[in-house]
Structure 1
Amino acid sequence: MITRDEAVALLTAPGAPLEIRTEDVLGEPMDVYVNRPRSLRELLESSRTHGDRDYLVTSGRRIGFAEHHDQVAALARVLREDYGVGRGDRVGLCAANCPEWIVGFWAAVSLGAVAVGMNSMWARPELAHGVELTEPKVMIVDEPRARLAEGLDVPLLRVESDLPRIASEHPGTPLPELDEEIAEDDPAVILFTSGTTGRAKGATHTHRNVIAAVWFHLLNDAVAAEMGLPQADRRFLLVSPLFHIASLHNLAVVRLVVGDVAVLYQGKFDIEQVLRLIEQERITNWGAMPTMLTRIIELGDRLQEFDLSTLRSLSVSSAPSSPGLKEALRTALPQAGRSLGTTYGLTESCTAATLASAAELAADPSTVGRPVPTVEVEIRDTEGRPVPEGIEGEIHLRGAQMMLGYWNNAKATAASTAPHRWFRTGDLGHLADGQLHIASRRSDLILRGGENIYPAEVEDRIVAHPAVRECIVMGVPDPDYGQAVAAVVVLHPGENVSPEDLCAHTAAGIARYKVPTRWQITLDELPRNATGKVNRRDVRLT
């Protein structure tokens, strides 16, 4: 049987459908897919060939590719004619997962505008920052987010009422013609990632970036087909938020191109409801966070109550996962577990930068795999010099899928960029036999159930409480979420405050998932080094 490496070489060779060659990308030579489209609008227009087949499915709705295209065209016309949206303008998206979120995304990018995926779990101050930073001409929101956005001086289109009305008022309308051609390196998407300065940064992805992410998945599909693995009649489960690359770039966008079904789970995560949806919709593929998959193991013998016989592909991503969890999944779901692989990537990389196949992960549970075909990976020392295999250093990435930069934040962009368009991840790791191993992610970063939390952002909110003198926020091991948020809080002399008070104060300014669940309140000063800086590693929870 052909190996994965042999299949990749065959499929990306000169003249092959997925040929890869070196071209100039923003002034630097990089590997690219030759036969790629140059804009996301081209992907949307091609999707009409899938006809009435299901594209988006929820528990109560089924939207085919042709109907989806009609809804996108109707919304795009209103965005252009009523709100003046054109090339380079921003369109905000802030709602719980729903088909309208995806329709809004495609409508924005089809006009050459920039779709801004805002975190639907944000508190009002965070939403206000996102609006101030990106200045959208209009926002597409659901009712809970509409109430949150009141007074932010941006027009709102509501998912529940406005989008259905627009679709009914403009049946069969074509996509608006463009006054300016979309350029491959035009911004297309802004997705937010937490920042060490305490405010979210907008990772800006171009049409080139997102299409490179899609073609990574097309190559994986082609490799699997070459190796005799079934690729027909796939139905993908979409559970993670659409403002994540896991659900947007790696699922919703790819499924439109391939013609597969995306089944959206809606509402608060409940493993039994998820498994019922897998059963009812005959789901074949699911990429999930470790927290979600842990729920499967916790069901124990009750897992037998669900018919999961159609689930044939499972991947774990978005957060570190233990070897024990992976082995337990292979036992609990033997058919899907045989396909269990993993990846390493970031919001800034649009999709996976490395990929570990099921065989590689089974042989070495600590690996996150090899660089994907169009991505370069280097490990560098503190002076920016590449180090040999086996030596730990900072992970650097380069490739056509890497973000353009952080929106309206030249300082953060410069800090994350090395010469020749290398991206400094801030993560530590090493290479061994060409495979990447992660030592720690972004220094003080807390990774809670797939959500990135930077302590500085939480600390800034906590110290705004008048009783608080200073604090340190850190991640602590959690069997459910991988990490939980903990805080050591030093009060001003004579002050007294409860954990409940601090929780309420913190939650008023940042998303609930960032609020510490473990508090240590003290009058003792935090440990410091000779320069007066707090030594985080010396802080101990008691």
Structure 2
Amino acid sequence: MTKAVDLQALAAQIAGKLTGPGGPFEMTVEEVLGAKIPVFRNRRRSLLELLEASRELGDRDYLVSAEKRMTFAEHYEAAGALAAALAQRYGIGKGDRIGILAANTPEWVLTFWAAQRLGAIPVGYNAWWAPQEVVYGLDHTQPVVVIADAKRAELLAQTGTRIPVLTMERDLPTLVEEYVGEYPEIALAEDDPACILYTSGTTGRPKGVVHSHRNMVAVSDYHRFTDALAAGFRGLPWDGSPTGRRYLTTSPLFHIASLHNLAVPRLVTGDTVVFQTGAFEADKVLRLVESERITNWAAVPTMASRLLAVDLTQYDLSSLAAFSLNAAPSSPALQQRLRERLPVAQVALTTSYGCTESGTAATVATPMELAADPETVGRTIIGVAVEVRDPEGNVVPDGTEGEICIRSPYVMLGYWNDEAATAASIDPDRWLRTGDFGYVSEGKLYMAGRRSDLILRGGENVYPTEIENALDEHPAVLESAVIGVPHEDLGQEVAAIVVVADPEALTEDELRDHVAQRLAYFKVPARWLITADALPRNATGKVLRRELSIGD
């Protein structure tokens, strides 16, 4: 405990120097959209300013895929040319939407930055949407053009849309070549919209989350701050110079984990973004880590779990220096298995809590915190305030469960074209109601689950995550999901869907006893489905609970 307290004190001391008066990350309080918000004093005011500064990074690799390598200088030139083409060919200007419908590619990122040159708003549509869902997205945000990869261009054709579609493989190279040497510029305000990404829609129709230039620049500054903090821990000077890190991108760019917290900040820090393309295959990805000498990887728990199905000793993973679990909850059992099998996880495994609306992680658990307390999702990051509130909006005492609320310069402007949903989620003081439940203890946040996932069993609140974590400790369980099903007397009862390699080798009684040894009786599932079929998940790794059911 003493060691942990000493490290916290050291972190506070280093952070104080960085954020205090005259520090490179000096914090101040300013009025933002009618509320007093802590912000970095010495900050850039738009993403366009970040793009302009990136020109100085020259011939360093920025974007790398199996098909293409693009340096910072090449990207700067291409973004300017594409912006000019979109303005002159399609009349796109400030506030117009540019749809992006594609798997992860350098062209996805290029389109995002070209939009910033025009003050246009890139809209990241979910690349795995069915035609009907794509139609919903197009109707909702009404882009002037859609830039798509070849596969999604065919899908767009099926929708019958009249919106012009430009392909990444054919149209973009032609337009860039034709308009090379042009760099359109526009006046931008910090709270102008910079991007729209859609919520996962696990509990209803996806909503378009609008992030501002202030939000996304602040997220990049947060990443720069963590670099400076890490240098301070090692007793090294920090001046923001590139350090040669190489980030593996396995989560979709239409999600904040890969766009806001990876592709965009790397334009500032001068690091390389390496794209894994195609379906996730453990062997293929591990070979990519070897060949590209990946240093940093933020994986969703499902991917991490699949790594454990292969012999990790057959791969050279010595370049990996940081490994985190993001986008969906991870069980303590999975964390421990990773530490036992994946060398980097022994010293550098982290986890975090955030949502699309929060722009970046609200809390992060350091490797030491996570090893000592695997249930926590950590402490608030710089600039973030977290409160846990009761249904009436009152802050509850430490250790008491309630709704997690967040305020920071990273929190979204609101939902696109949905004032009612925005008002329900963000109060006049700019506090975001996340819809997630948890509690705070000794400065650390602990998750209970989504309010929409809550099971009300005979007056008792039951959160699926707690039961799923218990189930995942069983050596035969690959993954699990817990849901509430109607019950005439109790209102709801607990049901579990458990995925195993061989359903015949495990009984309900064995699983029931396993959970009963760990949790209160009312949390033990009364109904079971043991299956070899994987759980349905969305592109960011979250279980699609609305698609789960259990037979009579």
Are 1:426 and 2:435 an aligned pair? yes
Tell me if structure 2 keeps the 8 A contact 1:425–1:442: no
- Match in the other structure for 1:409: 418
d(CA) in 1 for partners of 2:500 and 2:44?
A: 43
Letter in 1 for 2:94: R
The match for 2:191 among 165, 185, 189 is: 185
TM-score, scaled to structure 1: 0.82
Measured in 2, the distance between the counterparts of 1:324 and 1:432 equals: 22
Partner of 2:182: 174
Distance across 2 between alignment mates of 1:387 and 1:198: 29
Letter in 1 for 2:13: E
- Answer with 252-261 or 197-206: which moved more: 197-206
Structure-2 change in CA distance of 1:305 and 1:148 (3 Å): same
Alpha-carbon contact 2:46-2:188 (below 8 Å) kept = yes
Taking the aligned partners of 2:125 and 2:96, their CA distance within structure 1 comes to 16
* Alignment match, 2:351: 342
In structure 1, the partner of 2:106 is: 99
Task: Report the secondary structure of 2:198's partner residue.
Answer: strand
Q: Does 1:267 align with 2:278?
A: yes
Equivalence for 2:215:
209
1:328 paired with 2:334, answer no
Instruction: State percent identity of aligned pairs.
Output: 50
State the one-letter code of the partner of 1:243: F
Q: Report what 1:141 is aligned to.
A: 148
User: Which residue pairs with 1:157 in the alignment?
Assistant: 166
- Would you say the 8 A contact 2:328–2:542 is kept in 1? no
2:261 aligned with 1:250: yes
Distance 1:371 1:127 in 2: 36
Contact 1:313 1:337 in 2 (8 A): no
Q: Check whether the contact 1:90–1:115 (CA below 8 A) recurs between aligned residues.
A: yes
- 2:136 corresponding residue in structure 1: 129
What's the CA shift for 1:443? 2.1
Distance 1:201 1:443 in 2: 16
The whole-number CA distance in structure 1 between the counterparts of 2:387 and 2:395 is: 6
Which residue among 88, 91, 96 is the counterpart of 1:84?
Answer: 91
Aligned to 1:376: 385
User: 1:477 and 1:216 mapped to 2: Cα distance?
Assistant: 39
Native 8 Å contact 2:96 2:143 kept in 1:
yes
Aligned mates of 1:290, 1:345 — CA distance in 2? 15
Q: Aligned to 1:176, what secondary structure does the other structure show?
A: coil
2:228 to 217, 222, 229: 222
Tell me, in whole angstroms, the C-alpha distance in 2 between the residues paired with 1:337 and 1:194: 31
Q: Distance in 1 between matches of 2:161 and 2:73?
A: 35
Q: Pick the aligned partner of 2:122 from 112, 115, 118.
A: 115
* 1:57-72 correspondence to structure 2 within 5 Å: 57-72=64-79
Contact 2:202–2:544 (Cα < 8 Å) also in 1: no
Contact 2:103 2:127 in 1 (8 A): yes
1:309 and 2:309 aligned: no
Name the SS for the 1:386 alignment partner.
coil
- 1:133 corresponds to which letter in structure 2? H
Name the SS of the counterpart of 1:420 in structure 2: coil
Equivalent position of 1:34 in the other structure: 41
Counterparts of 1:225 and 1:369, CA distance in 2: 21
C-alpha distance in structure 1 between counterparts of 2:542 and 2:344, whole Å: 36
* Aligned residue type for 1:239: T
Secondary structure in structure 2 of the residue aligned to 1:22: strand
Alpha-carbon distance change, 434 to 514 in structure 1, aligned in 2, over 3 angstroms? closer
- Match for residue 443 of structure 1? 452
Kindly report which structure 2 residues correspond to 1:282-293, keeping only aligned pairs within 5 A, or say none: 282-293=293-304
Match of 1:233 in 2: 244
- Describe the shift of the 1:377–1:185 C-alpha distance in structure 2 as closer, same or farther (beyond 3 A): same
Q: Rate the CA distance shift 1:46–1:415 in 2: closer, same or farther, 3 A.
A: same
Query: What residue is the counterpart of 1:385 in the other structure?
Result: 394
1:253 is paired with a residue whose SS is: helix
Instruction: Classify 1:444/1:236 alpha carbon distance in 2 versus 1 (closer, same or farther; 3 Å).
Output: same
Rounded to whole Å, the distance in 2 between the matches of 1:211 and 1:89 is 20
Separation of aligned partners in 2, 1:476 and 1:114: 41
Please give the TM-score of this superposition, normalised by the length of structure 2: 0.80
Report how far residue 99 of structure 1 moved. Answer: 0.6
1:152-175 Cα distance to aligned partner (Å, 9 max, x none): 22111101100111122223x131
Query: 1:438/1:517 Cα in 2 relative to 1: closer, same or farther (>3 Å)?
Result: closer
2:287 matches 1:279: no
- Matches of 1:227 and 1:186, distance apart in 2: 36
Mapped partners of 2:217, 2:75: distance in 1: 20
> Aligned with 1:233: secondary structure?
coil
Q: Is the 8 A contact 2:202 2:546 kept in 1?
A: no
Contact kept, 8 Å, 2:296 with 2:323, in 1: the verdict is yes
Q: Distance in 2 between matches of 1:339 and 1:6?
A: 22
Most deviating of 39-48 and 56-65: 56-65
Distance in 2, matches of 1:478 and 1:133, equals: 37
Instruction: Please report how far the alpha carbon of residue 518 of structure 1 lies from its aligned counterpart in structure 2 after TM superposition.
Output: 5.8
Q: Contact (CA 8 Å) 2:117, 2:185: kept in 1 or not?
A: no
User: Counterpart in 1 of 2:371?
Assistant: 362
User: How far did 1:60 drift?
Assistant: 3.2
**What secondary structure does 2:45 align onto?**
coil
Cα 1:519–1:382, aligned 2, differ >3 Å: closer, same or farther? closer
Cα shift at 1:416: 1.2
- Give yes or no for contact 2:324–2:351 (8 Å, CA) kept in 1: yes
Residue of structure 2 equivalent to 1:24: 31
| Residues 83-106 of structure 1: per-residue CA shift (max 9 Å, x gap) | 111111110000011110000000
Which is worse superposed, 245-254 or 138-147?
A: 138-147
> 1:515 deviation in Å?
9.3
Question: Aligned-pair distance for 1:356?
Answer: 1.0
Residues 1:408 and 1:373: Cα distance change in structure 2 (over 3 Å): same
Report the equivalent of 1:458.
Answer: none
Secondary structure (helix, strand or coil) at the match of 1:383 reads coil
| Cα distance change of structure 1 residues 512 and 311 upon mapping to structure 2, 3 Å threshold | closer
Q: 1:45-76, CA deviations, whole angstroms, 9 ceiling, x for partnerless residues?
A: 10010001100111232110001111111110
CA distance in 1, matches of 2:224, 2:291: 27
CA 1:413–1:473 in 2, change beyond 3 Å: closer, same or farther?
A: farther
**Which runs of 5 or more structure 2 residues have no equivalent in the other structure?**
1-6, 237-241, 455-463, 469-480, 484-492, 502-535
Residue 297 of structure 1 corresponds to 308
Residue 344 of structure 1: how far off its partner (Å): 0.5
Q: Distance in 1 between matches of 2:188 and 2:17?
A: 32
1:391-431 CA-partner distances (Å, limit 9, x unpaired): 11111111111000000011111111234111111111000
